[in-house]
Amino acid sequence: MKKAVDSVDHRQIYFPETNVLITRFGSADSAAQVTDFMPVHEFHEEGGGLRQIEIEDLSGKDARIVRLAQGVLGETNMRMDCKPAFDFASTSHQVERVEGGVILTSDTGERLSLTAPCEFTIEDGAATAEFTLDHGESMAFVLERLATPEDSPTSFTADEADEQFRETVSFWRAWVSKCTYQGRWREDVIRSLLALKLLTFSPTGAIIAAPTASLPEEIGGERNWDYRYCWIRDAALTIDAFMRMGYVDEARGFMRWLGARTREANQSSDRPLQIMYGIRGEHKLEEKSLDHLSGYRDSKPVRVGNGAYDQFQLDIYGELMESVYIYNRHGWPISYDMWMSLSGILDWVSKNWQEPDEGFGKFRVGESSLFTRS
């Protein structure tokens, strides 16, 4: 969404102590504000802790982005463009008008809906709307994934979107209030914790390393990895940070996810744990290059999946046990079953800790060696 004039300044900020994004547009005679947020659906079990959800129920239902456009000064002419790139722009899609908006359907069957109280123009796979907001006027846009053929688009009035905004702000501020850090860097610590919270997948407890795929380590370089997976090492260090700042629920969720991985490890006669998994516990993270995409600032190749999932990295067991120790001491005692699973893993480590491995694995040298870190 943008202000439909050439000479316009804009800046972005987070609404204080939240993950709600505010974008402000301004020119000499008008100004507008766009508020973006995702309503949070996080449920807790009796007695505390994030409720785990069965794998078959992880459809993404009720996941939506709400965008509230508001006129702040004078009359502001605005333009909204929506042109999704399904399956990393590898498949085409169709756009159809429905009551209150449009539905975008890919050739593989994925469906998105976009609703707003305005007229949409459809051209070349894009849905476009041009509208004017006067001072004090608002318009709500809702973009959501339709998980099943029976799902229908959700639409909000400006007042309903504002209510959703207030509820979302209340959720984030209640979450922030749990932080036990009171030092001089509290504002920076809070912003870091909010970013880490966005890396968590509460239905299973997994914590991804980063929400990015194929951003290059250096412009024009080839180390463009997909980090949207749960690394044992990274997640363990994140749990350490959460626990030290008073966030036990996130640690408890991850320990449940980790418990499932350790139980799987007992069935393996080779390496007990992979270095990374999918957020639902997927083991095989096949990597492929998307040659039809040029990448960020022509940094090729664009990769999805991560072929390092089967690397042998011994250091992960140290970070794993540190996170279990911190959780067991400052959170809840781990279960007997999990301790027995961990004992089996530690027995394996005691017999294999001097074996060559691939170290940190960053450069994918393809050879095992003896690393001090490991």
Domains by residue range for the chain, with CATH: 2-172 (no CATH), 187-352 (1.50.10.10)
d(CA 242, CA 245): 5
* Strand 121-123 relative to strand 126-133, pairing: antiparallel
73-125: per-residue pLDDT in tens?
A: 999 999 999 999 999 999 999 999 999 999 999 999 999 999 999 999 999 99
Closest CA to 153 of 144, 161, 162: 144
pTM metric for this prediction: 0.89
Contacts 24+ apart (CB under 8 A), 22-27: 24/72, 25/76, 25/78, 26/72, 26/73, 27/3
289-327: per-residue pLDDT in tens?
A: 999 999 999 999 999 999 999 998 899 999 999 889 989
